[in-house]
Amino acid sequence: AQKVTQAQTEISVVEKEDVTLDCVYETRDTTYYLFWYKQPPSGELVFLIRRNSFDEQNEISGRYSWNFQKSTSSFNFTITASQVVDSAVYFCALSEAVNRDDKIIFGKGTRLHILP
């Protein structure tokens, strides 16, 4: 069965520090997709990234970077030089491409506080 674990429930860092949000997943499929979403205090869910299981290259987008490691079934998210606007709940999610049910399974989320 597919499962996503975000062990860090809540993290607080001071502005300008780097922070890494952990995501560990479980799947039996060889083809799958991983996602990160951001939910700021305003409540909407914002798509950040989608990664397929055949692409293990790390991704960088501005201050955001993602480290995908199949060997450890992890898809961690790092924010460099954090800013107060990064304060949000971040969700990691998994979808099995050959699964029967087309669903995305979300982790419980990590609440990130960036302190000024």
Partner 1 sequence: DAGVIQSPRHEVTEMGQEVTLRCKPISGHDYLFWYRQTMMRGLELLIYFNNNVPIDDSGMPEDRFSAKMPNASFSTLKIQPSEPRDSAVYFCASSLGGTSGRSDTQYFGPGTRLTVL
Residues forming the site for partner 1 (CB under 8 A): 32-33, 35, 37, 43-47, 50, 52, 91, 95-97, 99, 101-104, 106, 108-109
Taking the complex as a whole, how short is the minimal distance between the CB of residue 86 and partner 1, in angstroms? 19
CB-nearer residue toward partner 1: 87 or 95: 95
How near is the Cβ of 107 to partner 1 at its closest, in Å?
8
Q: Smallest distance, Å, CB 108 to partner 1?
A: 5
* Helix, strand and coil in the chain, % to nearest 5: 5, 55, 40
Nearer to partner 1, 100 or 116 (CB): 100
Q: CA-CA distance, 67 to 83, in Å (whole number)?
A: 20
CB of 34 closer than 8 Å to CB of 54: no
71 in helix, strand or coil?
helix
The two tokens of residue 106 are: 């979300």
Least distance (Å) from partner 1 to the CB of residue 56? Answer: 17
Count how many residues are written for the chain: 116
Q: Which is nearer to partner 1, 43 or 62 (CB)?
A: 43
85 versus 102: smaller Cβ distance to partner 1 = 102
Alpha carbon of 10 to those of 15, 69, 88, 108, 112: distances in Å? 16, 23, 10, 11, 6
